[in-house]
Amino acid sequence: MSDDELKTKEPRQERREKKLKKKRERMSKHSKNLARVYMDAIIKRLRGR
């Protein structure tokens, strides 16, 4: 166990929920950029035809 874990004494479930929440927030940021990349690729292909 690390020092942080000993100080907080947080249940595993709470730590897990926080971690998942952070992960979801990161994903939402990336998904907008990814959507734009895919849209640009589709438009580029359509214009080429």
Please check the confidence at residue 1 and state whether its pLDDT lies above 60.
Answer: no
CA dihedral 20, 26, 30, 32 (to 10 degrees): 90
If one compares 4 and 26, the residue with the highest pLDDT of the two is 26
> What mean pLDDT do residues 11-30 have?
84
pTM above 0.85, yes or no: no
Give the helix/strand (H/E) hosting 9.
none
Q: Tell me how long the chain is.
A: 49
Say whether 48 sits in a helix, a strand or coil. Answer: helix
Residue pLDDT, tens place only, 26-42: 776 667 788 899 999 99
- Amino acid found at 27: M
- Amino acid found at 23: K
Query: According to the model, what pLDDT value does residue 39 have?
Result: 94
